[in-house]
Amino acid sequence: MAGIFRYDQQTIFQSAEDIPAREEIDIGARLRVNDDNHWYQLEGYYSLSDTQADIFAINGYHSWQDENSPWYIDTQINSRWQPSHDSFDLQYALDASISIGQSWQRDTVHRHQWQVTPYIRYSSADLDDYLADEQLNSSIFNFYRENHASGWLSYYQYRYQPWVDNYLNFGVSSGSNDDWLSLDYLKFNSSWNQYYHGHIFQVGLDSYYRFADDHRATATWQYITRFAWQKQVNLGSFTNGWLKLSWQQDWVWNNHNISVEFSSGNNQHTGFAPFAHDEIIFPALQLNHLLEHSDYEQ
């Protein structure tokens, strides 16, 4: 069980209008359970916004990893609820997805992973609600969600780790349009991850190529740089926490996003142990991984 506090700020610089920074604060809790090769997670939080209506979210997640092969299956359901306000009714949005993939490595240096994710999205709000309610939260209704109510996502990722305390990630991913046949975008990403005296740093570069379609007049490139820092904080004999800070800069639209998150709970004995295959904070510093390095070196 862990508590969650997250602050997020988004600022747009290039605009014909003077758009103020949008700020959001999420407060909630997360429950995680591991049963052999099954991982379960349930989280709920209340999100306060200075420009949109507040919402609360309830999300469920399950991951299964096959014991004898690199196959895994993830399922996820996310829900967001906007309470009624003024003369507007309650609105909600639901997202559901299932991911099927493989994650494998021949040695301690090279790791590969691929995944395909069909998804479906639903919102009780429509265009009329968007035009009528100026405070309608964008996570309930936005034009991208409306135009991509279903489809698939896919990615391949390669991790190169010849060292114990740092590694490089390279990946390519894509997503479909609502027809499931045409591509919406291609994404190329890379990141460098470093552990140093209890601190974890990440620097990354993402490049998007968004195809022209019925909802996008011309094809566009998008370049995003990322920086993140996190540290595990000792809060006593029964609890522990993570403090995380991230910054993201979009160089095409010239906006940035800053996020600060703090989570705590009775997880002091887990250390760097992964919760599931896709939530490995720093694999090289797990005891099993260090022993694996030692075995290969002999």
Position 200 pLDDT exceeds 80:
yes
- Per 3-state DSSP, what percentage of the chain is helix, strand, and coil (rounded to 5)? 10, 60, 30
Position 114 pLDDT exceeds 80:
yes
Q: Cα–Cα distances in Å, from 103 out to 76, 97, 158, 204?
A: 19, 19, 10, 21
What integer best gives the mean pLDDT of the chain? 85
Residue 115 belongs to a domain: no
What's the confidence (pLDDT) of residue 293? Answer: 37
Question: For residue 164, how far is the Cα from the chain centroid?
Answer: 25
Residue 288 belongs to a domain: yes
The set of residues, in sequence order, having a beta carbon less than 8 Å from that of 215 and lying 6+ positions away, is: 143, 147
Residue 256 belongs to a domain: yes
Q: Smallest Cα–Cα separation from 107: which of 162, 59, 176?
A: 162
Residue 58 belongs to a domain: yes
What's the confidence (pLDDT) of residue 102? Answer: 95
pLDDT classification of 296: cutoffs 50, 70, 90: very low
Tell me 101's DSSP state: E
Name the strand (E) or helix (H) holding 2: strand 2-12
pLDDT in tens, 271-288: 445 566 666 556 555 544
Claim: this prediction has a pTM higher than 0.75: yes
- The answer to whether residues 225 and 204 touch, using CB atoms and an 8 Å cutoff, is yes
Position 257 pLDDT exceeds 60:
yes
Question: Residue range 91-114: average pLDDT?
Answer: 93
Question: Residue range 237-263: average pLDDT?
Answer: 85
**Separation between Cα atoms, residue 157 and residue 132, nearest integer Å:** 43
What's the confidence (pLDDT) of residue 279? Answer: 60
Residue 69 belongs to a domain: yes
**Separation between Cα atoms, residue 169 and residue 134, nearest integer Å:** 41
What's the confidence (pLDDT) of residue 280? Answer: 57
Total tally of structural domains belonging to the chain: 1
Residue 172 belongs to a domain: no
Residue 180 belongs to a domain: no
pLDDT in tens, 150-167: 999 999 999 998 888 889
Provide the residue range defining the domain that includes 268. Answer: 2-93+124-144+204-297
Residue 151 belongs to a domain: no
b/e code 119-146 from CB counts within 10 Å (16+ = b): bebebebeeebbeebeebbebbbeeebb
The separation between the first and the last C-alpha atoms of the chain, rounded to the nearest angstrom, is: 40
